[in-house]
Amino acid sequence: MFLLMLFCWGPSVVWTLYGTPRKTVTLSSYGGHVFQEEGVWNYSTMLLREDMGVLILGARETIFALDLSNITHKKAMGQLYAGSEVAAVQMPLSACDHYTSCIDCVLARDPYCGWDLTTDSCVAINSIHTDTHSEVVQSLRDGNTSHCPAVESTKTIKFFYPGNTVSLVCEPGSNLAQVQWHVNGQPVEKSNVNQVQHNTLLILNASERDTGLYTCYSVETSMGVDYVTQTA
């Protein structure tokens, strides 16, 4: 006789071929395990690698490598492999040192990275030892940066000769951010004199009236909220 077994999150039901529930059991009584990661959903892809003892689980935001003997244990594989007709590529899953600020680290929503308030740096989550007292900021779903510390701004003095073209460079926080230029606290209006090209502010035929404090802001929108970072 064959049994079709259906496991649910709560009490499970064992069904017969005739569709009649015979017995209700709990998942734990069968030695079962459930894997869930906070802020991650839509677990839709699975790849079984018995040779490595790993279950590759793909979700909407990330990919997990789980221990076959107990899927509640994640394995730190740490590498991503991709192939094409002409070549194969291997690269690390996390590149946390690319994020230089807390806001940049959190808005990236990188499941492998978090901002360590103790070391003031973006670190790999699996590198944090459980016996340390590190406080890590991470927000995978919302990209909430409210727990990030305030960033002190720096000033750069730039001199120019009247009649020259002044170039002020600004790097946005990410590819999703928009650059906004301000002078003396007011937005810079584009004109025949003030032009913005590739996020760089060009002041043509500069004169004494163009002197002032110029500030560049990187604005990124997440879940309807604008996150503003002064970058120059």
Q: pLDDT per residue over 70-116, tens digit each?
A: 888 877 656 676 777 887 776 777 788 888 888 888 888 888 899 99
pLDDT digits (tens, 9 = 90+) for 190-210: 887 788 888 888 888 888 888
- Contact yes or no for 145/161 (Cβ under 8 A): no
Which residues span the domain enclosing 197? 166-230
d(CA 198, CA 14): 62
Report the pLDDT value the prediction gives residue 4, as an integer from 0 to 100: 35
What contacts 154, CB < 8 A, 6 or more positions away?
Answer: none
d(CA 219, CA 227): 6
Q: Is residue 158 in some structural domain? A: no
Band (9; pLDDT cuts 50, 70, 90):
very low
Structure tokens of 201? 């502010």
Q: Is residue 22 in some structural domain? A: yes
Residue 119 pLDDT exceeds 80: yes
**Do 15 and 65 have their domain in common?**
yes
Report the pLDDT value the prediction gives residue 67, as an integer from 0 to 100: 85
**Do 69 and 112 have their domain in common?**
no
Closest of 178, 190, 188, 184 to residue 228, by C-alpha: 178
Which of 169-183, 200-214, 216-230 reaches the highest mean pLDDT? 200-214
